[in-house]
Structure 1
């Protein structure tokens, strides 16, 4: 029996494990997980899938699983790799979902490890969105294909160069939260300028977003093509488009500047930690 392992079991690990079972990539008894705390995500998953195997420590997951997902905060990843070095032999395939920790960082601690990096998106919960994947040169074709095919079952997969993964993460993993924040402000503005209820405005925006996404995905529209179709020259929509084109470039430039600064700060911490672990 091929096992799929999880180390750390928060929101994203629960989502990935659930989708793996729902899409029949693996049965519950083929999942092995270790969590240092029995949080709500762990409890709900185990209540639903009680035949899941529970490991007593991280090394047990690595030893038993053909593919092991590390779903921990960035500063927890390299210490786990070092602590479990004895079992992390060249046939092990490990998948990290931590931002800021590169495959080369992990290989510095465990040079022969087959390590892939994966950036999931919450939108995979509904079978949409893009999962980003990058593989170290140590990963075999069999394991890279398994990972890519697994995530194609519940969304779209893009394999990219690791140097582009931070910006790409903003466009895939972070964008649902950013889009929600932008349109929450649109809702608030509409409430300030009308007697519509919160629920009414939310429903209008919600269906407009869903419909726009469907047009882009199914009717082969581009953003500019959709704008041209909706925004009649001199019309009301054109006023909004003109304002967006004037004001939003600086907003999105600053947004990416801020996220890249945050990535750089995280990477600096990881590099300092790596030096400590290697010394």
Structure 2
């Protein structure tokens, strides 16, 4: 029986563990978890899957699990690796989902460890998201295959160079929130200019988003192809497209500048922490 461990059990760990069980990637009995606090996610998951094994501490998870997901805040990852160094033997496979913490950072603390980095998306809960994965050179072929195969059941898997992980995360992990924020403003503008109800406007935009996605994925449209199909020259839609093309480049340039700046700030904190841990 392959044991799959979770250290830290918030919303994303719950999503991953639940999806593994739902897709029969793992059984509840194959999951071992440790959470320093019995939060609502932990309580709900354990109530639903009471045969899940609970560990007494983080080291027990690493000791018993072949694959261990670290689902903690970035600044908690490296101290955890250092504290558990005695049980992190070379055959252990550790998967970190923390932004700003690279596989190199973890290997600097535990050089022989097999380390993968994984960035999930909330959209994988409905089977259509993209999971980003990067592997350190220390990871065996069998472990890379296991991780990638496991997440293919969640949706689409992309293995990429870790140097591209941050900006790619904006497109996969962050974009559902960004898209929701953009279209929330579209809804608010519509409400200011009509007598439609919130529910009516939300339903209209919701189905338009779903339909647009299906056209792009299932009908093999490109963005430009869809624009050409819908926006007749001189027509009403063309007005909106022209405004978007004029105003949105600056918005998205600033968006990426801000998110990449946040990543850079987090990495500086991790580097400072690493120097302290290794000194």
TM-score class normalised by the smaller sequence: over 0.9
1:124-203 aligned at under 5 Å gives the runs: 124-203=124-203
- Aligned Cα RMSD in Å? 0.3
Partner residue in 1 for 2:78 = 78
Deviation digits for residues 25-56 of structure 1 (CA, Å, limit 9, x no counterpart) = 11101000000000010011000000000000
Q: Secondary structure at the match of 2:6?
A: strand
1:88-107 aligned at under 5 Å gives the runs: 88-107=88-107
Alpha-carbon separation, structure 2, partners of 1:263 and 1:179: 20
Partner residue in 2 for 1:7 = 7
Tell me the CA shift for residue 158 of structure 1: 0.3
Partner residue in 1 for 2:248 = 248
Alpha-carbon separation, structure 1, partners of 2:91 and 2:269: 29
Alpha-carbon separation, structure 2, partners of 1:186 and 1:25: 39
Alpha-carbon separation, structure 2, partners of 1:195 and 1:61: 56
Alpha-carbon separation, structure 2, partners of 1:7 and 1:180: 30
Tell me the CA shift for residue 14 of structure 1: 0.1
Runs of 4 or more above 6 Å deviation:
none
Question: Is residue 262 from structure 1 mapped to residue 262 from structure 2 by the alignment?
Answer: yes
Q: Secondary structure at the match of 2:5?
A: strand
Partner residue in 2 for 1:226 = 226
Tell me the CA shift for residue 255 of structure 1: 0.1
Q: Secondary structure at the match of 1:76?
A: helix
Deviation digits for residues 206-260 of structure 1 (CA, Å, limit 9, x no counterpart) = 0000000001010000000000000000000000000000000000000000000
Q: Secondary structure at the match of 1:173?
A: helix
Residue ranges of structure 1 left out of the alignment (5+ in a row): none
**TM-score using structure 1 length:** 1.00
Tell me the CA shift for residue 2 of structure 1: 1.1
Q: How many residues align?
A: 279
Q: Secondary structure at the match of 2:20?
A: helix
Tell me the CA shift for residue 186 of structure 1: 0.2
**TM-score using structure 2 length:** 1.00
Residue ranges of structure 2 left out of the alignment (5+ in a row): none
Deviation digits for residues 56-111 of structure 1 (CA, Å, limit 9, x no counterpart) = 00000000000000000000000000000000010000000000000000000000
Q: Secondary structure at the match of 2:75?
A: helix
Alpha-carbon separation, structure 2, partners of 1:111 and 1:218: 44
Tell me the CA shift for residue 154 of structure 1: 1.2
